[in-house]
Structure 1
């Protein structure tokens, strides 16, 4: 194995930043030339982002519009050390090289995805279109105290607009290539002094980005047909309390056949050393695979989500009591045509039918202090429950040898139940003027269980005379205490330094199978088919993080700088892949041993007068395994973690032109990423994705006194694509090609 790591040099970067902070401020008093301040709730209380001692990024609704980002998969290209990829099985979040590949009902993410503070457990339901978004907060690093489990990598929190006491509305329509059609609408109505209502709708459609070279005439995936709606009501309960209710409904239709063979990008896979080769974007996006063992079918994908949420806030004087609760039901139904490489030079076609139903409930009660005293404290209780039922059906696996599987390989699973209970508290005390110390603690208890079976069937329905079942039955109870110690110091009126030591926790889980002697569903688990306990169960993933940073605004608040330096120590990193267990292919998660992650992040903005705004970002990252043997023999010690480029550079520029009675703005954003790996540990394969530059451009026109505007946008000007995921059988999901659209907005 090769070791591609290079030593980081944070000292020189820190010295350069210090010299900037010490530079004389330029005299400038025009407030329109200053950077706007954004209020965030990263610490669960409202505070300016520049005064929040956390490594984070914020994208406002205006920025999302300019960048053409309308779902979570588009966020990562604009953030330091963040990948958010729209994989075949849902959203894949990677922050600072830490990710998770188990998107099944038994898996958990390393980074929590939240909608209005509500944890969304399944990645399949994190891909819906954004709807009336106020801002998105992305927190990097473990957030185990205030946000809890499954936040070892960080948190992505999408925050919607709430009703306000003002009559307003907005509508937009965007048309682009690939028959793209995006329409949104919003209406906010104050009913009286106490009640305001807000409704929002969105439609987002485009044709497939992929090309069918199979000769079947069927439509392929990477298409889109999303529809969503939300109704919100905010009620003032006297002068000191308020209640916010939200109901959301969203559907997503299209095609789950959004893969191409990994051979569209790499040669030499059969040798165990994939090598990237040159090809046009059209060739990369063409699926030419024609299975010899089965016929192709028209794939489809149908998802729906319904959610009811409530936020209650009561100012008690010395403290504020907050409640946040939600009930969500998600359903998914799809048919996919898979490319399965079962031997180095042999691939077969496999069909998967899937149906799933998932329901989750969450409740959080939190008490936080008010006032300007030296002590700021908050604490609370949290409860989460998820129940899901699934049916996986794989067809045409009988060609697999030496397994001699029957035509139908079926997984009826459910209920799968996950419960999490937590108590948490965090306090900050002003030790000296300008110096504050923070301590936080959270205790979490997780209970998981699942019952189901692996069925070997001759037909679609189980026949006891010809078919047989293997029991899948497991449960796991884990608990963890996570904590945080931190300090922050005001370097000046608009600058602060902070440091922290914190821990993170991702719950453990189980794989398919059962332990000897177990019994459920009328099925025994004899020793001959039992799975050893250390294979059936995998342990929680834990992290300890050391981080220091500086946040500053200088040059009369016309420039900003965020600097973070971090060092992680990961233990029991959870990695997933397909392996043969008890004579059948199964999706297995195992603990990878230890990993080290350290790096530097520098980003900010510069407003050079009223007409020009610049953004910049530089990241250096060294994320590698300390100890890991994927097959129990081969050592990957020193090898990089997935999606962890050693360096990334982001640059953006927006210029505003004054016209008679109007203004025109043009902006360009470019990202240069170093090469990085996507690994398939079960096959001992490491795919090296080469370095890449990707650029976006937008131009807009707005009359000074008008209520409308028009914008044109181009994403991926270079029209280059690369794999964003590669699975154990060689199925690769490519990134998006060049897209462009023109958008018209109207508001009142």
Structure 2
């Protein structure tokens, strides 16, 4: 079993399960093979700040969706919004629209998933999860400014296996996974895994309108994998998956539940945003998680996601070739109530993406080299409409107001190379670079439709733009007698984009009114300087990982929703100048005896704007603030964790594992840029407890657990609202009790 957490993994992994290439690596002691460098390496020998968590560890901790990695990985926050929003070391993106890109990439088996709505359904039958902190612009390319998460699914094995895992917890939470693995021939094996993931909403509808918020999520997924290995040097993995995503996705409550004194900035002499502090009046967790706003109709999500990928590896002596290709489609059919119960809304969308990557590697003597090329294309057509929009200033005959956008296209082409050379025994230099070219375009409109069926075009949303960038990495690492010591400088890049509208020009439509500076926003870039160590004793009874880093972050892309320049209800993305990030991450793993394991973690983070001047019109006067040293969102200055696992051997009756983990976070800020309000989340602790009995040889297990024992309601996003409507907040999971069990044979 894997009992360590964070960047410490304490179970061996098979190289054939881990590697993107035919190359294998030896495993010693309590180490695990990872593929962060696109080749199989030991975690303890990989000169990157990263966390690797094995599949058994995920099961033991009850981690069944990416948001739970927040408590497992240093300086990482993963929250639900319109899909998953990932923040790593203070770097994030809030644009989840069809044209937006994340700052941290989410991958499955090395395939980038462009839409945040597709991430959660991939999280079952996982061999391991790798979380890389810091820009990965050389080997992984665009949209890895903050880092990346790579979920590696379990590959078919040459043995027959049947496995089942299930848990039931508070809020009618049910998560069931069934797996069958079978060898068909000496060279071909297949694996089928199916998953049901559902639970009720943490939000209670107290409006009395009769519309339930349950279930929040009801997802059914299936994955079929086939592994063909005609020789030791050749392997072909093909994976196909399909998921149906249903539920209400009602996960927010009124801002006033937590911030009753919140108000937009009105002081024209102000030099900093208005502050909103939590005042809950001693309300219970259940009361805080309730909403009085009518749903107006039954909200629902009826989405599906499907895809296929192939991973071909060929060994040619000192050379190896790897190809990874994929195709994915997503369909979205959703009804919701927005603007604090004022309006119903519909969303229809179809997305597809394809990616192709070819890599050639050379490994001989002191030299390792990788070169490759990458192609990615995404195309979508969407229609988001707000029904009965009279409250937004539309005439009485307006039936719906919205944004039909079709198509939106993004294409990325890149080439890359990286080399590592051992200049002296155990001392290596690494250098690499990547050239990326991005083309983005959209054809769309802002419209309202009348009750008579006529369409009034308010604005044309046609735009196109191209961006190019060279990112690079340079590093040195030394395998000392006590562990790995490394230093690196790395860069990251996320392409720019466009807002709603089109460029005004002579003879053009009167509906095009924007200048290029108003319509387009620029790329964001990041340069990271890092010094780290991965130390251990000879028997691995003590491990210490530490990293010290500094970021120069330029052109941050910040998104806000409101009425900007008469656009109506729309999202505006702008560049925020510069930011700086400094931090320290410390992780310790101690095994004082064979039946006790202790984990310790401490993080210090100073993520703040350096040059940014947001503004707001107050009355007839424009107020411009100086955000120098203002903190970035969801970036607590101090965070950490302490955990212990006690194992009691029961002889022929298996073993009993008791686990307790305490997570701590200092206060942090969430800024509503449209209204210039800082919402403050106070410091908090969260305690998780678990007790699990396992039969000999882990043939089956049963356990009980409680998460967030304190029942803290921790805010992850907050806004004041628009058009006279109250704003809303979203939050982490409240306290949950549960039982789980499983078997395998």
Q: TM-score, normalised by structure 2?
A: 0.90
Work out whether residues 514 and 525 of structure 1, in 8 Å CA contact, stay in contact via their aligned partners in 2. no
* 1:139 maps to 2:132: yes
- Equivalent positions of 1:5-84 (< 5 A) are 36-84=30-78
Aligned with 1:440 (options 407, 432, 438): 432
CA offsets 1:320-347 (integer angstroms, 9 cap, x no match): 000001000011111111234xxxxxxx
The Cα shift of 1:517 comes to: 3.4
* 1:484 maps to 2:473: yes
CA distance in 2, matches of 1:319, 1:120: 29
* 1:638 maps to 2:608: no
Aligned with 1:277 (options 279, 287, 307): 279
The Cα shift of 1:370 comes to: 2.9
- Partner SS, residue 534 of structure 1: helix
CA distance in 1, matches of 2:395, 2:713: 36
- Equivalent positions of 1:427-466 (< 5 A) are 427-459=419-451, 462-464=453-455
Over aligned residues, Cα RMSD in angstroms?
1.8
The Cα shift of 1:450 comes to: 0.3
Work out whether residues 263 and 677 of structure 2, in 8 Å CA contact, stay in contact via their aligned partners in 1. no
- Equivalent positions of 1:656-695 (< 5 A) are 656-661=647-652, 662-695=654-687
- Partner SS, residue 139 of structure 2: coil
Unaligned runs of 5+ in 2: 1-27, 265-273, 617-623, 722-726
CA distance in 1, matches of 2:39, 2:582: 29
* 1:619 maps to 2:569: no
* 1:515 maps to 2:493: no
CA distance in 1, matches of 2:436, 2:185: 42
- Equivalent positions of 1:489-638 (< 5 A) are 489-492=478-481, 494-517=482-505, 525-526=509-510, 529-554=512-537, 556-583=539-566, 584-631=568-615, 633-638=624-629
CA distance in 1, matches of 2:366, 2:504: 58
CA distance in 2, matches of 1:450, 1:302: 25
CA offsets 1:83-109 (integer angstroms, 9 cap, x no match): 00122x010100000110100011100
Query: Which is further off, 397-406 or 100-109?
Result: 397-406
CA distance in 1, matches of 2:707, 2:509: 54
| Residues 426/395 of structure 1: CA separation in 2 closer, same or farther (3 Å cut) | same
Query: Which is further off, 623-632 or 397-406?
Result: 397-406
The Cα shift of 1:173 comes to: 2.4
- Partner SS, residue 142 of structure 2: coil
* 1:256 maps to 2:249: yes
| Residues 470/557 of structure 1: CA separation in 2 closer, same or farther (3 Å cut) | same
- Partner SS, residue 283 of structure 1: helix
- Equivalent positions of 1:371-390 (< 5 A) are 371=364, 373-390=365-382
CA offsets 1:253-275 (integer angstroms, 9 cap, x no match): 10032211111111211254312
CA distance in 1, matches of 2:395, 2:88: 38
CA offsets 1:8-52 (integer angstroms, 9 cap, x no match): xxxxxxxxxxxxxxxxxxxxxxxxxx9621110000000110100
CA distance in 2, matches of 1:124, 1:135: 21
Work out whether residues 666 and 683 of structure 2, in 8 Å CA contact, stay in contact via their aligned partners in 1. yes
The Cα shift of 1:703 comes to: 2.4
Partner of 1:368: 361
- Equivalent positions of 1:62-461 (< 5 A) are 62-87=56-81, 89-128=82-121, 130-220=123-213, 223-270=216-263, 272-278=274-280, 279-290=283-294, 296-340=296-340, 349-371=342-364, 373-400=365-392, 406-459=398-451
- Partner SS, residue 276 of structure 1: coil
- Partner SS, residue 518 of structure 2: helix
CA distance in 2, matches of 1:38, 1:152: 26
The Cα shift of 1:697 comes to: 1.0
CA offsets 1:250-298 (integer angstroms, 9 cap, x no match): 11110032211111111211254312113321111101125xxxx7111
CA offsets 1:176-201 (integer angstroms, 9 cap, x no match): 22222221111111111111111111
Work out whether residues 209 and 222 of structure 1, in 8 Å CA contact, stay in contact via their aligned partners in 2. no
| Residues 56/706 of structure 1: CA separation in 2 closer, same or farther (3 Å cut) | closer
| Residues 517/739 of structure 1: CA separation in 2 closer, same or farther (3 Å cut) | same
CA offsets 1:593-630 (integer angstroms, 9 cap, x no match): 10000100011311121100111110000000011112
* 1:740 maps to 2:737: yes
CA distance in 2, matches of 1:404, 1:602: 60
- Partner SS, residue 128 of structure 1: helix
CA offsets 1:566-616 (integer angstroms, 9 cap, x no match): 000011000000242442232010000100001000113111211001111
CA offsets 1:112-152 (integer angstroms, 9 cap, x no match): 00011000001111122512100000000000000000101
Work out whether residues 155 and 227 of structure 2, in 8 Å CA contact, stay in contact via their aligned partners in 1. yes
The Cα shift of 1:226 comes to: 1.2
Query: Which is further off, 259-268 or 670-679?
Result: 259-268
| Residues 680/222 of structure 1: CA separation in 2 closer, same or farther (3 Å cut) | farther
CA distance in 2, matches of 1:62, 1:237: 29
The Cα shift of 1:731 comes to: 2.0
CA distance in 2, matches of 1:222, 1:625: 39
CA distance in 2, matches of 1:644, 1:46: 32
CA distance in 1, matches of 2:237, 2:224: 11
- Partner SS, residue 721 of structure 1: coil
| Residues 529/585 of structure 1: CA separation in 2 closer, same or farther (3 Å cut) | farther
* 1:470 maps to 2:459: yes
Unaligned runs of 5+ in 1: 1-33, 341-347
CA distance in 1, matches of 2:122, 2:480: 41
| Residues 407/639 of structure 1: CA separation in 2 closer, same or farther (3 Å cut) | farther
CA distance in 1, matches of 2:634, 2:263: 23
The Cα shift of 1:430 comes to: 0.8
CA distance in 2, matches of 1:189, 1:677: 50
Work out whether residues 70 and 129 of structure 1, in 8 Å CA contact, stay in contact via their aligned partners in 2. no
| Residues 518/286 of structure 1: CA separation in 2 closer, same or farther (3 Å cut) | farther
The Cα shift of 1:728 comes to: 5.9
CA distance in 2, matches of 1:86, 1:269: 23
The Cα shift of 1:658 comes to: 2.1
Structure of higher RCO (CA pairs closer than 8 Å, 6+ residues apart): 1
The Cα shift of 1:714 comes to: 1.2
| Residues 179/129 of structure 1: CA separation in 2 closer, same or farther (3 Å cut) | farther
